[in-house]
Amino acid sequence: MPGPIALVRPVPDCFDRALVREGSPVIDTDVARAQHLEYCRHLAGAGYQVQIVPADEAHPDCVFIEDTAVVIGDTALITRPGAVGRRGEIEPVAEALSRYFRTTRVVAPGTIDGGDVLIVGGMVYVGRSQRTNEAGIEQLRAVAAEERLETTVVAVHDALHLKSAALPIDEGTLVVTRDAVDEHAFNGLHILYEADEERHRFSALPLRDGRVMVTASAPVTSSLVARAGHETVAIDVSQIQAADGGLTCMSILL
């Protein structure tokens, strides 16, 4: 595989019709596109080769590429998203990943979104959420076992995905939203808590150059990350967040 790669999909013109868990926010697609381009610039600046999978105007959520695949070791698990309308997003991503990895697929009745999977400290954590079910979790567990990794299931109570409320900032530390997930599953990891006044506004993405990209909408929580010894770079992704997105969900880092 040529160097570190960030696989991304641009914001489609129909992004203002993206699925939203609660409410009916007004989403400015032009601003979202500009914010996504800035995000890609930061990835490139951190040393990633940004590879683009074309946007799909039939799928407003296609920019959230993370949900379509989970890379574990030498295997790319192509997901079966929990939202039926998103299942048409997977094929272009599967094709792109097949250049570098062995691919396998989640099959019915299993459902899993990549946003429910985080790998940290040698453990695969998977969220049991509205989008990821037991059948999907068991298929993920089988792939992880083939790669000699254990799987821990984390109940998701108040979030769309596990990584909406549990963000790794290094191999031993997570930032967690209180009472949003079963944090007891993270035994052995150091937990920092998202500031209550910034609930569900913090997102983070560790970069290969050692910095941590953080959301500009959560400065108090971001300062906790900085005090923990991490150099942070804040980015405004307000329109991405309006569609229930965060910093991890707009890329698959290889």
Of 84, 82, 139, 74, nearest to 106 by C-alpha is 139
d(CA 19, CA 123): 30
What's residue 174's pLDDT? 98
Residues making up the chain, counted from first to last: 254
- Residue in the block written with tokens 């013109």: 13
104: β partners: 77
Exposure string of 181-206, with b = 16+ CB inside 10 Å and e = fewer, is bbbebbeebeebebbeebbbbbbbbb
| Tens digit of each residue's pLDDT (9 = 90 or more) over 112-164 | 999 999 999 889 999 999 999 999 999 999 999 999 999 999 999 999 999 99
Nearest CA to 65 out of 93, 85, 28, 88 is that of 93
According to the model, what pLDDT value does residue 214 have? 98
- Biggest CA–CA distance in the chain, Å, is 45
Residues 124, 149 contacting (CB under 8 angstroms): yes
Secondary structure (3-state) at 216: coil
Which of 36, 59, 161, 230 is labelled catalytic? 161
Q: Is the dihedral of CA 145, 150, 153, 159 positive or negative?
A: negative
pTM here is: 0.96
Which pLDDT does position 121 carry in this prediction? 86
- Would residue 62 show up in a list of annotated catalytic residues for this protein? no
Task: Check whether 253 has a pLDDT greater than 90.
Answer: yes
CB 176 within 8 A of CB 192: yes
Position 242, amino acid: A
Q: Backbone dihedral region of 179: left (phi > 0), alpha (psi from -120 to 50 degrees) or beta?
A: left
161 is annotated as an active-site residue: yes
The whole-angstrom separation of Cα 134 and Cα 33 is: 35
Look up residue 199 and give its DSSP letter: T
Per-chain mean pLDDT for the chain = 97
**pLDDT classification of 239: cutoffs 50, 70, 90:** very high
Half-sphere exposure at residue 140, Cβ-oriented, CA atoms within 13 angstroms = 32
User: What are the Cα distances from residue 194, in Å, to 36, 121, 180?
Assistant: 24, 21, 11
| pLDDT at position 202 over 80 | yes
Cα–Cα distances (Å) from 252 to 5, 45, 92, 98, in that order, read 8, 16, 13, 13
Asked if pLDDT for residue 193 goes beyond 90, the answer is yes
78 pLDDT more than 90: yes
Tokens of 221: 């929580």
Res 23: pLDDT: 81
Phi, psi of 4 (to 5 degrees): -70, 135
Alpha-helical (H) ranges within the chain are: 29-45, 90-97, 134-146, 219-227, 238-242
* pLDDT tens figures, 33-63: 999 999 999 999 999 999 999 999 999 999 9
Q: According to the model, what pLDDT value does residue 168 have? A: 97
